[in-house]
C-alpha cells in the first residue's frame, strides 16, 4: 500500500491491440509502452497509478465504482468505442465523486461522424484527445494538478 494519491487508468475494448491495430490512426506504442511511460511519470509526480484494460463494459463500470470506493484522486479513462455507446459507463462516472479525465489517442471529431458523440464526455471533468500516446501523459499531468 502506498500513501501516494492514486490515479486509475482504465482502458476499454481493443486497446490491448495498440501497436498493431491501425497504427496510422493509433500509433505504434503498445499498451505496455504507455503503461511504462505513465508509471515513470507518476513516480516523478508523486502519484501511484493502477493501469487496467478490458474488452468488457461491465469491468469498466466495476473499476469506476472501485475508484470511488478507494478514494482515487482521478480516473483516466479511454473507453474506446464504448465512449460512443455506453450509457452504463456514463452513469458509473456520474455515480462517483472521483473526477474522470477522458482520453483518446486520435481526435474523434476528425473521424467518422458516429465518433463525434461521447457519453463519457458528458460526465467527465475534461477530455484530452488527438495527441497519440502523449494524450495519456497530458491526462496524468491534469490529474496531478487536481491535488492543488
Strand order of the sheet with strand 74-78? 48-53, 6-11, 74-78, 100-104, 126-129
**Residues with catalytic annotation?**
26, 104
Alpha carbons 14 and 125: distance in angstroms, whole number = 24
Maximal C-alpha separation, the chain: 44
**Helix 87-95 vs helix 57-70: crossing angle, to nearest 10:** 10
By C-alpha distance, which of 71, 136, 75, 118 is closest to 100? 75
Amino acid at each position: 500500500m502506498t500513501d501516494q494519491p492514486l490515479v486509475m487508468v482504465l482502458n476499454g475494448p481493443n486497446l490491448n491491440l495498440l501497436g498493431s491495430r491501425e497504427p496510422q490512426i493509433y500509433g505504434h506504442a503498445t499498451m505496455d509502452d504507455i503503461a511504462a511511460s505513465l508509471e515513470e511519470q507518476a513516480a516523478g509526480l508523486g502519484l501511484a497509478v493502477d493501469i487496467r484494460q478490458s474488452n468488457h463494459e461491465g469491468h469498466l463500470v466495476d473499476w469506476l465504482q472501485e475508484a470511488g470506493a478507494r478514494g482515487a484522486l482521478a480516473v483516466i479513462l479511454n473507453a474506446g468505442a464504448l465512449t460512443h455507446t455506453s450509457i452504463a459507463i456514463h452513469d458509473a462516472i456520474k455515480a462517483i465523486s472521483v473526477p474522470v479525465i477522458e482520453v483518446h489517442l486520435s481526435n474523434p471529431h476528425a473521424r467518422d461522424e458516429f465518433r463525434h458523440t461521447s457519453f463519457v464526455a458528458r460526465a467527465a471533468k475534461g477530455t484530452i484527445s488527438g495527441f497519440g500516446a502523449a494524450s495519456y501523459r497530458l491526462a496524468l499531468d491534469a490529474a496531478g494538478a487536481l491535488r492543488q
